[in-house]
Every structure is written in C-alpha cells, then in structure tokens.
C-alpha cells in the first residue's frame, strides 16, 4: 500500500484479476492490451497469480504493443508529447473532410451524410494505420498519409467496398441463380484469395495479431482491383459470366465488410 492508503498497481491488478474471475467464472482467458513498457510488470503479475495457486493464471496473456509516435513526439507518455485521443479523432475527421472535398465526389450528399462519411473515413484511416502493423512494432503515425485514397490505407479499402456497392446497384437483373462457366485467370486468383479468409481469422486469433486481418484485406482489395481492371463485369455479353462476376464482386464486398468489422472499422455504402 502507498502512504496515502491507496494500493500500488501490482496490488490493484492482482485484486482485479481475482475479481474478474469471480464475476465471470466461465471466462476462457484474459488479454491485457498494454504497451511494451510494462512487459516486466505483467510477467511478475502472472507469476504471482500462479504462485497463489490460481489455475486460470495459465490463460492470461499480455498483448504487448510498441509505442505510437507522432512526428512531434510520443503519442502517449509521461515524458513525451501527450496527445488527447478525442483531439486526434477530430483531427482525422477534419483531414478526411479536406481530402474528400478536394476529390469532389460528394454530389447529392446532405450535410449530415457528409459529416458521417468524414467520420467513417477518418476513424477508419486511424484504426487501420495502427492495426495493420504487427502489435510488437513501434509506429510513427502520420495523419495525412493514413487518409490517402491510394496504397495500404483504410480509405483505399473503404473506397473499393463502395465501388462494389455501386456495381451491385447497377446490376438490375437477377444474379441469384447458380451458373456454370469457364473461369478467367483473374477470377481464379480472386477465389483463391477469398478462400484464405477463414484461416486468416484463426491465425490472427492464435497470434493475437489484428495486423494479419488488416493486411489480408488489403491483399484481397488489390486482387479485386486487378480483376476489375482486366475483366468486364456489367459490360460482359455472356449472361452467365456476368451473373457470376456480380456474385463474385458481392462476395468480395461482404468479406471486406466482415474483416473491417473485426477491426472495428465501418465501411460506407458510397464515397
């Protein structure tokens, strides 16, 4: 205990861990998401709980992550520049607004819809930029480059999702039936990438690494864009091929939405 009667961090964490198991006896494990500056603290915590005879101490994991730096200094540290999370999120939304207005693709949007889109893009950019990096690595976060609509960024993936929604809306025919076609090479590559999704989720869970899902999604989007540039979808004359390609595009969109949902990122229906 401290001289003022409050408990030190270790005492608090021991008591909290024990209380959590009492409150949630069916819990399968606990993951502590805390920066790598606290590695030793958690090694000691888990060892103490083991010495105290708690079997569930074997199911405790410290998801140790590298610090996040800004060009101006540390993002969150007693020694460096402290950046308020709310202010950073507002800044990201403002950056998304500036870039979206420069691109000028917001005709027909109400002011409320625009603001919602800016927030979706801004927060998506922030989350994706951080989550695409292996948790153990240190990150230099650059707000402007994270909102770029090209490259391995959240907005680039969101834009591809919105593009597919546009294709689906224009598909006014019935594309729900099963068809038999000879697959184009680009279709095969896209199907192979889709097939990897369930295994990627399992790997991400086993390794405590959201980065695996983030980078899988980027690879899927790259594969789709290659398919989109090389193969006609709605312009295809063969009806069965057209039906299959719309189905394939929709499956890609659903997978993007699912993957981003796991990362806590929203996708806009149009951009």
Walk along the chain (271 residues) and give the pLDDT tens digit of each residue: 889 989 899 999 999 999 999 999 998 899 999 989 999 999 999 999 999 999 999 999 999 998 877 776 555 544 555 667 788 888 888 888 888 888 777 788 889 999 999 999 999 999 999 999 998 888 888 777 788 888 899 999 999 999 999 999 999 999 999 999 999 999 999 999 999 999 999 999 999 999 999 999 999 999 999 999 999 999 999 999 999 999 999 999 999 999 999 999 999 998 8
3-state secondary structure of 130: helix
Are residues 125 and 256 located together in one domain of the fold? yes
Give the residue carrying structure tokens 């708690």: 54
Domain count across the chain: 2
Q: Report d(CA 262, CA 171) in Å as an integer.
A: 28
What is residue 95's predicted lDDT score, i.e. its pLDDT?
Answer: 85
Instruction: Determine which helix (DSSP H) or strand (DSSP E) holds 233, and give its type and residue range.
Output: none
Residue 268 lies in a domain: no
By the 8 A CB rule, do 78 and 67 touch?
no
Last residue of a domain, one of 38, 65, 92: 65
Are residues 23 and 96 located together in one domain of the fold? no
Residue 179 lies in a domain: yes
Last residue of a domain, one of 65, 87, 109: 65
Domain boundaries, position 16: 9-65
Residue whose C-alpha is closest to residue 242's, from 191, 188, 189, 168:
168
Are residues 111 and 13 located together in one domain of the fold? no
Q: Report d(CA 114, CA 106) in Å as an integer.
A: 7
Residue 248 lies in a domain: yes
- CATH number of the domain that 208 lies in? 1.10.730.10
Residue 180 lies in a domain: yes
Are residues 29 and 50 located together in one domain of the fold? yes
Pairing type for strands 73-74 and 68-70 reads antiparallel
Are residues 237 and 106 located together in one domain of the fold? yes
Are residues 13 and 81 located together in one domain of the fold? no
**For 182, left (φ over 0), alpha (ψ -120 to 50), or beta?**
beta
């Amino acid at each position: 205990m401290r001289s003022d009667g409050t408990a030190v961090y270790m005492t608090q964490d021991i008591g909290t861990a024990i209380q959590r198991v009492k409150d949630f006896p069916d819990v399968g494990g606990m993951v502590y998401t805390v920066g790598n500056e606290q590695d030793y603290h958690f090694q000691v915590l888990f060892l103490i709980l083991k010495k105290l005879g708690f079997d569930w101490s074997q199911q405790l994991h410290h998801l140790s992550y590298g610090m996040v730096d800004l060009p101006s200094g540390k993002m969150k540290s007693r020694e460096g520049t402290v950046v308020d999370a709310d202010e950073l999120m507002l800044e990201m939304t403002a950056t998304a607004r500036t870039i979206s207005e420069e691109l000028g693709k917001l005709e027909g949007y109400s002011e409320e819809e625009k603001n919602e889109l800016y927030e979706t893009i801004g927060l998506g950019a922030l989350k994706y930029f951080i989550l695409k990096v292996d948790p153990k690595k240190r990150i230099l976060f650059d707000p402007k480059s994270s909102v770029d609509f090209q490259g391995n960024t959240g907005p680039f993936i969101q834009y591809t999702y919105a593009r597919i929604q546009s294709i689906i809306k224009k598909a006014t025919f019935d594309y729900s039936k099963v068809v038999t076609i000879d697959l184009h090479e680009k279709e095969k590559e896209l199907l192979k990438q889709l097939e990897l999704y369930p295994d990627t989720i399992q790997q991400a869970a086993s390794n405590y690494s959201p980065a695996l899902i983030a980078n899988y999604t980027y690879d899927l989007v790259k594969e789709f864009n290659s398919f989109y540039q090389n193969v006609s979808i709605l312009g295809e004359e063969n009806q069965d091929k057209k039906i299959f390609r719309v189905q394939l595009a929709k499956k890609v969109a659903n997978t993007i939405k699912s993957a981003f949902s796991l990362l806590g990122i929203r996708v806009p229906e149009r951009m």
